[in-house]
Structure 1
């Protein structure tokens, strides 16, 4: 724990400076009170002050600010949360972690992630225009089921229209372009949403369309397109969203949410290799990209029922479905070669990952009358996830159809003591899981192709959590917690990589679950217009799932991993017009690569984020004009036990947003990478030594001009 202690000391020093100069923060809205926010992703109707973990709520105003920079929903999270990895600015978010582990993405509680074959496309399943707030729960937990080893990112969609109000909504038009290279850098977006309350019935509907231009780096070179994993630049997306609700009685409500999102590359550019040795990044040249273009095609639906008067508590039920298909770019990759189809080195193919989910969540929460201050949450979750990955041009199976079936009863207790100054919580979740895989054959590149016997292995895990919060003095809260997370180790990667004969699914231990233990302690302080927090955490697992690059393809290494770190944030509002703030995170992660029971090598950039400092300032120049300036410092890092070529040099990014509230609407001007920093993206700089095709630069200075009108 010496590393954690030194980083904690550094963070305390940073926090002390913030208190002395009260100028740091992470919440943009000085009127926001976290205690009044019910975090739906936590599934408990508790005030923020009673939750023994780090929680961040990104509100509608903050989302609007970040999307005024042309940012995606996941980039908004990455910009504001320092322990979230820098985004790759690509369609794939592989290597983007929260506290060094994969988060579970949700839309109104519906899981978007694909843990059975984690292709890291779950950040792009809904347009940010339809998101009212983002709830981020830090650290491993199992309250939402499989996948949240790093935490939970829940996109909460547009709320129902105000009761009795007429039609209301907003429309938006944006254009984005590189500040010095127009032409093919120009992109645009149109979006609208409208809702009305009809009495007992209310309806909300919206649509969004976006065409993205080509990205340019700080030296005005085209950024290389990622033709294999998929890219955001040179792409088109459209989305439709709807929500309908009916108040059956004063206590009972039925609500339906539907969301469909599609994004597809245009294929107008091809990648041109850079040169890592001289620092020349990968770029793009005009040309028709071969094959079917990378895409995301996502549909989600949830039918929710709430009854606030059942046995003195609230009953909630949700039935959900999720259908996802992600196409990846093609190539003559070694993994795809098969001499029985075409001469080695000539076979062009590409894959598509598919996941179909169906499940329900049922829970009841209420007070336990005989014991004052005691409340309980009890429930039952069920999930069926069918996932497979095929090679779409030759009709081969890369990942066999794998069905995940789980049933998980759970119980959570919370005890309020001393007029709410002390809150004790604890809970259990019992996961019963069955994996169903038929007999299959791996690709020829895996040692000639292996026949693997199918099976139905089952797993049972009892997951626990316990925590406490205590109001030391008015405004100062201390908390501590232990929580376990549960996920699968990217079963698809593991199964497709079998290259030894005589294997069967029932006894193949590498598909066993990943169980993470998360320990956290923290302090939160609020007094007047100043608030600050500090948290220290440690996450460990005996059999993790580290991504390892093998022949150009990431596979899974089942190794023990340990991650520890600290996070600091603070905010101060000098007056009604000036707010300053910031946040800092420092993480360290190691893995046991030789299976001797001791961690011996640093996690690389595909598995952990860099240390980062965020600073921001906001001012209301007039009632009609507001400005925001934000800066992020990504600190340099060396990875012990990794190639020196993967060392991270670090970089600084500055963004600015101005909003003029005119009579016809809000006019926004956002400038991303204001200083036109020329840099290599974190993932490219730290994970692919010797790969000149994936040496991607980050986006240079980019301007977004928009108009939003509310009615």
Structure 2
């Protein structure tokens, strides 16, 4: 539960606050919703007026994928060009967006922990609570720290406005079709919403217990960030009150927990020999040590007030939020110190955020120009640390205080030419007390040297800019060009825990300014929509890791980086009941100082996807999805034939999924899904490229889901 009182008070709006309320008032259709985005500029606007690459995943697409795999990592990898392939685990480490870390948000409230990025932000909400997902690609500072790769914003469902109570209950089971033994799990989700005069309410709940997960040979997948025997709970509430047609108050609460509670133990293989790590039943002394890994009851509380007519042509939303995160990681022998009787350790990332934001949106119409001015103030306190369960401190408490002001303008000239320009001025104070780095020993004689580090308050002041132009010349060709900057101090914790100097002022903790350039176009023909984008992003201070052979510890290296790539999307309506959505994305990057390629923690292999939806009748639909992950072999092996760090070669693989649903009564629907339809025996891209212990885990073998949904 929240442990400290709310200390900030400022003005604000979140990404979806204003837009969701406008959508609720206007009651847009599903088709219209697909043409709407709100995250990029913090206002409700059409995609046609955004000079950047946008991906919108609607509720139907979310529900279809939920029938084959309930994990958001899998859904996003399938639907978002530029996002790295699914990791097949509870962690999204290595699942970057265009080679950089995205900021994960729920209704505009950050879920990531950028000060010590544990890469668990994507899995922070159950898909059954999500109305749509908006993905804005490329570095942006519109929401502050942590969005060097862009924004992934989960927009939660809204209560219906027709007054009557509605609800649904879904029950399903997921199990291995290769070997059923111990693999069957159960999932229950329910939702209710309605409106009573000026009061609206939405409540969703989900509970899921996984069985063991098996690969194509029937073996249980390895446990590191594993999902075997995981128990996941999510409870979400959204309450609203309309004072009148123009003024609204909304309260939301989200609780999410997902932990692996198992009696299994790993049989560790060697990726350099092509050996997988898999799990078996073992005596208690050989089982996975420590607390169950995963989010341990993360909570969000948000309060929003919206006035659609504060002044003439001006709207306002105030937004206060609190968040408490506690993510537990697996027990690792790399956190050993034999001299103090520690044979390993288990870390926890703790983060408490308290934020307040205000956005004002003023609309002015000239003779042939429509102008929008979006401006406001953001304030945030983020206290993050990474202690070990046994009491040792790995990353000391970091107390970040941030205040920012911003102005974003949009000019629609003669209905066809859109010009957007903005600026954000941010001031950050990061305070760290005196601390001592942790002594870690790979072997009794191979240890890091602990250092007493003098703490201090580090000041960051950054002004970032963006400008974009889009010309809606014709439906058949609508080009855009954009430049945007992001200011990023993410993962300071990794730098602090690996300090080699005795003063925090001497650690290379400078903020990284990311410059993002993008050019592309959209084309709409009678039954075909095409999107193409190419991009390049540079930063003077990116962060990678290098193995120290003396201490056995991976240490951060800060050096300039350049990342580039391109993406294509084709949406083809073959006939009234047959539709195809296909994507291809390519990304590459280098440390430009050393002229070497970046590893797979940032750069993913080429990826292609296809989704073919067939609706033979009003009651029935089938979807066949395809994922192709290509080769990436940029690094040479050492003299012993082994690769290091995240530099392992990636071999291509192909995965097919099949889902279907049938409406056999007005209120009843049956559904089924098959993941890895042809039982491909493969290592996911991350498993192939990561040489760190325990990541060499196979992908899921053929796995089936069957269930039923009742609506009332």
Q: Same fold (TM over 0.5)?
A: yes
Unaligned runs of 5+ in 1: 1-29, 593-597
Q: What's the counterpart of residue 687 of structure 1?
A: 690
Distance 1:122 1:360 in 2: 21
Question: C-alpha deviations, 1:1-32, integer Å up to 9, x for none?
Answer: xxxxxxxxxxxxxxxxxxxxxxxxxxxxx973
Query: Is 1:363 matched up with 2:359?
Result: yes
SS in 2 for 1:493: helix
SS in 2 for 1:543: strand
Distance 1:658 1:447 in 2: 54
**CA contact under 8 A between 1:604 and 1:642: conserved in structure 2?**
no
Aligned length: 661
SS in 1 for 2:495: helix
Change (3 A) 1:331 1:632: closer
**Offset, 1:105:** 0.2
**Offset, 1:218:** 1.4
Distance 2:173 2:81 in 1: 28
**CA contact under 8 A between 2:178 and 2:216: conserved in structure 1?**
no
> Which one of the candidate residues 383, 406, 421 is aligned to 2:380?
383
Question: C-alpha deviations, 1:85-124, integer Å up to 9, x for none?
Answer: 1122222211110101000000011100001000011112
SS in 2 for 1:87: coil
**Offset, 1:351:** 1.2
Q: What's the counterpart of residue 571 of structure 2?
A: 571
Change (3 A) 1:569 1:554: farther
Q: What's the counterpart of residue 270 of structure 1?
A: 265
Query: Is 1:424 matched up with 2:419?
Result: yes
Question: C-alpha deviations, 1:283-325, integer Å up to 9, x for none?
Answer: 1011332221212021011111111102222101111111100
**CA contact under 8 A between 2:466 and 2:485: conserved in structure 1?**
yes
**Offset, 1:369:** 5.2
SS in 2 for 1:101: coil
> Which one of the candidate residues 658, 662, 685 is aligned to 2:664?
662
SS in 2 for 1:512: coil
**CA contact under 8 A between 2:669 and 2:710: conserved in structure 1?**
yes
Alignment of structure 1 residues 179-198 onto 2, 5 Å: 179-198=177-196
Question: C-alpha deviations, 1:120-161, integer Å up to 9, x for none?
Answer: 111121111101100000111111111111110000111122
Distance 2:199 2:544 in 1: 49
Query: Is 1:440 matched up with 2:440?
Result: no
Q: What's the counterpart of residue 23 of structure 2?
A: none
**CA contact under 8 A between 2:635 and 2:649: conserved in structure 1?**
no
Distance 2:308 2:623 in 1: 41
Unaligned runs of 5+ in 2: 1-28, 441-446
Question: C-alpha deviations, 1:190-212, integer Å up to 9, x for none?
Answer: 01010110010111112110001
Q: What's the counterpart of residue 487 of structure 2?
A: 486
Alignment of structure 1 residues 313-332 onto 2, 5 Å: 313-332=314-333
**Offset, 1:675:** 0.9
Query: Is 1:100 matched up with 2:99?
Result: yes
Change (3 A) 1:129 1:477: same
Query: Is 1:219 matched up with 2:217?
Result: yes
**Offset, 1:575:** 2.0
Q: What's the counterpart of residue 20 of structure 2?
A: none
**Offset, 1:434:** 0.6
**Offset, 1:35:** 7.3
Change (3 A) 1:549 1:150: farther
**Offset, 1:552:** 7.1
Distance 1:366 1:552 in 2: 56
**CA contact under 8 A between 1:34 and 1:48: conserved in structure 2?**
no
SS in 1 for 2:64: helix
Query: Is 1:533 matched up with 2:536?
Result: no
Distance 1:388 1:616 in 2: 41
Q: What's the counterpart of residue 241 of structure 2?
A: 246
Alignment of structure 1 residues 23-34 onto 2, 5 Å: 32-33=31-32
Distance 1:38 1:701 in 2: 36
TM (norm. structure 1) is: 0.90
Distance 1:552 1:685 in 2: 21
SS in 2 for 1:680: coil
Q: What's the counterpart of residue 128 of structure 1?
A: 127
**Offset, 1:548:** 4.4
Change (3 A) 1:587 1:246: same
Alignment of structure 1 residues 426-575 onto 2, 5 Å: 426-445=421-440, 447-500=448-501, 503-508=502-507, 510-548=508-546, 555-575=555-575
Distance 1:470 1:437 in 2: 48
Question: C-alpha deviations, 1:177-202, integer Å up to 9, x for none?
Answer: 11021121111100101011001011
**CA contact under 8 A between 2:448 and 2:553: conserved in structure 1?**
no
SS in 2 for 1:467: strand
Distance 1:642 1:320 in 2: 48
Change (3 A) 1:152 1:552: farther
Distance 1:549 1:155 in 2: 36
Q: What's the counterpart of residue 627 of structure 2?
A: 632
Distance 1:612 1:349 in 2: 36
Q: What's the counterpart of residue 310 of structure 1?
A: 310
Query: Is 1:373 matched up with 2:370?
Result: yes
**Offset, 1:576:** 1.5
Distance 2:406 2:600 in 1: 35
Q: What's the counterpart of residue 14 of structure 1?
A: none
Distance 2:556 2:112 in 1: 17
**CA contact under 8 A between 2:41 and 2:408: conserved in structure 1?**
no
**Offset, 1:71:** 2.9
SS in 1 for 2:128: helix
**CA RMSD after TM alignment:** 1.9
Query: Is 1:351 matched up with 2:347?
Result: yes
Query: Is 1:614 matched up with 2:609?
Result: yes
**Offset, 1:279:** 2.0
Distance 1:449 1:556 in 2: 16
Distance 1:662 1:154 in 2: 34
Distance 1:111 1:489 in 2: 13
**CA contact under 8 A between 1:338 and 1:444: conserved in structure 2?**
no
Question: C-alpha deviations, 1:564-605, integer Å up to 9, x for none?
Answer: 11100011112221112201001111114xxxxx45111121
Distance 1:34 1:709 in 2: 25
Alignment of structure 1 residues 582-593 onto 2, 5 Å: 582-592=582-592
Distance 1:204 1:549 in 2: 50
**Offset, 1:348:** 3.5
TM (norm. structure 2) is: 0.90
Q: What's the counterpart of residue 652 of structure 2?
A: 650
Change (3 A) 1:569 1:642: farther
Change (3 A) 1:359 1:122: same
**CA contact under 8 A between 1:547 and 1:607: conserved in structure 2?**
no
Q: Which moved more, 1:145-154 or 1:486-495?
A: 486-495
